[in-house]
Chains A and B, each alone.
Chain A
Amino acid sequence: MTPARSFGLPPARRFTGLLALLLAGTYGFDTWQTLSFGRWHKPGAAIFPIAVAALMALSAISVLLERRSGPDDPMPATFALPAGADLRRLLLVLAAFAVYFVAMPYLGNMIASALFLLASMWLLSDDPNRSIVRLAITAVVIAVTFEVFFVRLLKVQMPAGVFKQWLF
């Protein structure tokens, strides 16, 4: 396992606060420009979003103004993010996940699921002697089981893809 990288929690939270402030400004500005305010007896669609923008600005400022109360503060001073091989693995699993549902409308749920299961099991397995054939069989069994249970039995609508006529 690669050692994790440590980051300061207060700067990270302040950065989040800054992003939230930016979001509040953009959201408030868009509301002001595009939505109607109405009248007191007939309030328009802008009233609530304006209140939400103000609340978001307030909460962003409260995050920006946070101060640690010393070593006894219940909030930790740092947080860890994966690094090296662990980070690579996490990003690869995320990428495989994104590719999975981009490909799903074309390949269909069952084939896309089987391919994603195989890729992610391969990425997540720690065993240096892992067998691609065994993982592939496991992936296909799980994908077919899910297809039968959800799509055939429970009638869940999932993309069938271009191979629809050759499957089942």
Chain B
Amino acid sequence: MNSLQGLLYGLSIAATPSNLLAAFVGAFAGTAIGVLPGLGPVAGVALILPLTFSLDPTAGLIMMAGIFYGSMYGGSTTAILLNIPGESASVVTAIDGYQLAKKGRAGATLTIVAVGSFVGGTLAVIGVMMFSSLLAKVAILFGPAEFFALTAGGLIVMSRISGGTLASALLPMTLGLMLGTIGQEAVTGETRFTFGLPDLAEGVSLVPVVVGLYGFAELMLLVEDRAHAANRPESVKMRDLLPTRTEWKRAVPSWLRGTFLGFLFGLVPGPAATLASFASYRLEKAASKHGSEIGSGAIEGVAGPEAANNSAATASLVPLLALGIPFTPIAALMISAMLVQGIQPGPLLITQHPEIFWGLIASAYIGNVMLLALNIPMVGVWVSLLRIPHYLFIPLLLVLSVIGTYSVRNSIFDVWVLLAAGIVGYAFNKMKFQLAPLVVGLILGPNIEKHFREALFLSQGDPWIYVESPIAVGVWLLVAAILIAGFIARRRAAFADAMAQESSL
């Protein structure tokens, strides 16, 4: 199946009435959760993702894509209307978006964002088609040693690019690895660390950990923080939604620049959407005719970064699905949802399950189309959601998190895990430990162990197997290069800071 056939096949699956309904519900729920005051898209997605588990895998994944893109759009809405970026990728959107809203252009800005996201997502799908065939050729060369290099190397890289200090990522990551060793191990079937509890024999389920760490912990922070409750946006009327001819004209080059930049960032493993939006903002300042206005409410400052982060989000599906390593919290949530649906992302996905790979790419596209159809006419609804009081939506989401968690294995024990993970997530948030490495450790830990031991079985105990193949060596060299580049960048930044301080004295 070539790329075009693959995409057409994926679209034929995604475009059935039931799957379109799943895309609609996902996009609607994702946007709704993304705009809820004080609740970021990551927490929101974590809370409603279990809804997708009750559907068949295809519809579940399509709904998940809708939730993913919807939540990103919802995050941008709060950035523009309230100056509260729902997620890190929307930080730059808030700068000019909020200034534009103060000038009375909130509706037009939301339209520019919706269309820009659509343009970014659409062009990125075309780019993904071109790269996927190359990926399929490399994928069949992977054995246990290469998989071990990929997963263990990915984990090491993750510990350095997730932000904060090394210790802030390493400790949660190791905790995740530890949790991953509980239950029956994959190679010989031996049971470990269950302490006689039958509920632990199957291991710690990913869903309660993810929902607890991101969703429940965030709700706990909201319970204690009532400052957001006072923040109320202005209403946006339908007639305000149409941008002027000048605004359209100024947005188009920014969308195209942002899409191209975002696509390149998306192919590199890492927090692509965030990096792409920041890079696009800088590019717009340098390349746009109106660069000097950016920062004080220019449409280019919103159009470029939003197209860039959407394009990066779509393109990042390639490393996400091909490597099976989540580098961002949202990606970790998506991987966990796929694992629950019985899909193991990784290099073999595109060759062994092309229908899933292309189905997901197509559903990402359908999600974008759905958002365009949904968001502009319904902007008034999203704005009114921003006014829902905390005392209503926090209990509602808590009930939703319990239903979602319980439904995966019909286990009250999992709901206790949700509570425990929520308390750990709350404490880690307060103490500035990273949460994403914990989830990634839990996801990758069992795979790392499996590939490590299988490689030794295959080589009859010869440890050189890990560095024998060119692919394994290439992966380890890439990991070393990323770590060294990160180290140099941090040293340079520290040096520049020191010089700036010295010159200011």
Contact = CB atoms under 8 A, between A and B. Distances in A.
Interface of A: 1, 4, 9, 12-13, 16-17, 20, 23, 27, 30-31, 34-36, 39-45, 47-49, 52, 55-56, 58-60, 62-63, 66, 72, 75-76, 79-82, 86-87, 89-90, 93-94, 97-98, 100-101, 104-105, 109, 113, 116-117, 120-121, 124-126, 138-139, 142-143, 146, 150, 154-159
B58 to A, nearest CB: 16
A156 B453 contact: no
A158 B403 CA distance: 7
Contact of A49 (B192, B392, B407, B432): B192
Contacts, number: 174
B294 interface: no
Interface string B437-455: 0000000010011001100
B54 to A, nearest CB: 4
B193 A55 contact: no
Given A72-B497, A116-B395, A62 B177 contact: no
A116 B399 contact: yes
A150 B226 contact: no
17 contacts: A4-B224, A12-B430, A27-B193, A35-B190, A35-B192, A40-B463, A41-B461, A48-B452, A56-B178, A59-B173, A63-B171, A82-B224, A97-B419, A124-B395, A138-B392, A156-B54, A158-B403
B54 A40 contact: no
Nearest to A155: B54
Interface residues of B, number: 63
B247 interface: no
Interface of B: 51, 54-55, 164-167, 170-171, 173-175, 177-178, 181, 185, 187-188, 190, 192-193, 220, 223-224, 226, 229, 389-392, 394-396, 398-400, 402-403, 406-407, 410, 412, 415-416, 419, 423, 427, 430-433, 445, 448-449, 452-453, 456-457, 460-461, 463, 497, 501
Contact of A39 (B173, B193, B432, B461): B461
A117 B396 contact: yes
A16 B171 contact: yes
A58 B452 CA distance: 21
A116 B391 CA distance: 12
A126 B226 contact: yes
Contacts of A97: 398, 419
B171 A20 contact: yes
Given A52-B177, A89-B223, A62 B391 contact: no
B420 to A, nearest CB: 11
A78 B86 CA distance: 24
Contact of B229 (A43, A126, A156): A126
A115 to B, nearest CB: 11
Given A59-B174, A120-B398, A124-B391, A154 B431 contact: no
B402 A101 contact: yes
A142 B366 CA distance: 30
A71 to B, nearest CB: 11
A40 B461 contact: yes
Contacts of B166: 62
Between B171, B395, B396, B453, the greatest number of chain A beta carbons within 10 A of the residue's beta carbon is seen for B395
Contacts of A34: 192
A75 B432 contact: yes
